[in-house]
Amino acid sequence: MSPHVAQRNGRTATAEELAPLAFAGFAHFTAMQVRDGRVRGLDLHLDRLRAASLELFGDALPDDRIRSYVREALKAGPSDVSLTVTIHLPGDLEVLVRTRPPSSGPAGPLALTAVEHERVLPAVKHTGEMAKTYYRRQAVGEGFDDAAFVDRRGRLSEATIWNLAFWDGDTVVWPDADLLTGTMMGIVQRRLGELGVPQRVQEVTLTDLPGLAGAVVMNSWTPGIAVRRIGATPLPSAPAFVSALHRAYETEPLTRP
Does domain 110-252 bear CATH number 3.20.10.10? yes
Comparing C-alpha atoms, which of 101, 105, 206 is closest to residue 149?
206
247 vs 192: CA distance, rounded Å: 9
pLDDT score of 2 more than 90: no
Name the percent of the chain lying above pLDDT 70. 98
Q: Do domains 5-100 and 110-252 have the same CATH topology?
A: no
Question: Are 227 and 235 in contact, with CB atoms under 8 Å apart?
Answer: yes
The correct answer on CATH 3.30.470.10 for the domain covering 5-100 is yes
Which residues have a Cβ under 8 Å from the Cβ of 243 and sit 6 or more positions away? Answer: none
| Average of per-residue pLDDT across 210-234 | 98
Q: Say whether pLDDT at 120 is over 80.
A: yes
Query: Can you give the pLDDT at residue 91?
Result: 84
pLDDT in tens, 43-89: 999 999 999 999 999 999 999 999 999 999 999 889 999 999 999 99
Peptide bond into 109 cis (omega under 30): yes
Quote the DSSP letter at residue 212: -
Separation of alpha carbons 218 and 40, rounded Å: 14
Determine the straight-line distance between the first and last CA of the chain, rounded to whole angstroms.
26
Would you state the torsion angle of the CA atoms of residues 56, 57, 60, 65, taken in this order, to the nearest 10 degrees?
Answer: -100
Question: Tell me: the pLDDT tens digits for 130-144?
Answer: 899 999 999 999 999
Domain spans of the chain? 5-100, 110-252
List the beta bridge partners of residue 86: 29, 96
**How does residue 17 score in pLDDT terms, banded at 50, 70 and 90?**
confident
Q: Is the pLDDT of residue 222 over 90?
A: yes
According to DSSP, the residues that pair with 111 across neighbouring strands are 229
Distance between CA atoms of 105 and 217, rounded to whole angstroms?
A: 10
Question: Angle at Cα 63 formed by Cα 62 and Cα 66, nearest 5°?
Answer: 95
Q: Are 37 and 78 in contact (CB under 8 A)?
A: no
**Predicted pLDDT of residue 24:** 65
